[in-house]
Amino acid sequence: MAIFEGSWLHQVKNGVYKVGLTVGLNVALGVQVRLTDKLRGFGEIFANYLVLSPTNYDETITGTSKAAGGTPTPLLPLTMSHSLKKERIVCI
């Protein structure tokens, strides 16, 4: 009986977004209603809006590789940083 001893590679990718300074908006509208001489009711509607703008994406790749007939060896961690800032082009 033959057993296949092939080579293989196992990788794990982990990524983290870094968020820069953002701008948000909050809006509220309230209404007060007199129900009786001593009782009042109040209702409020509110909303908020937040813009998240990622600036970087940092990714780390780790894993293990194995050659045919060899022993598994861990890969050195590889870290990559991707800039997500938008470039502005000005035409004159």
CB 35 within 8 A of CB 41: yes
Number of domains composing the chain: 1
Query: What's the rounded mean pLDDT across residues 56-71?
Result: 84
Span 51-62, average pLDDT: 84
- In 35-76, the DSSP E strands lie at 40-50, 54-66, 73-74
Over range 44-71, report the average pLDDT.
Answer: 85
Q: Which residue has the tokens 């209404």?
A: 31
* 79 domain-assigned: yes
Give the pLDDT confidence of 24-54 residue by residue, as tens digits. 889 999 999 999 999 999 999 999 888 777 7
Q: Which residues contact 45 (CB under 8 A, 6 or more apart)?
A: 28, 29, 30
User: For residue 92, is it within any domain?
Assistant: no
At residue 91, the pLDDT reads 54
Q: Is residue 91 a part of any domain in this protein?
A: no
pTM of the model: 0.46
Q: How far apart are CA 76 and CA 65, in angstroms?
A: 11
- Domain membership of residue 88 (yes or no) is no
Domain of residue 75 covers 8-83
**Has residue 69 been placed in a domain?**
yes
- Tell me, yes or no, whether 18 lies in a domain: yes
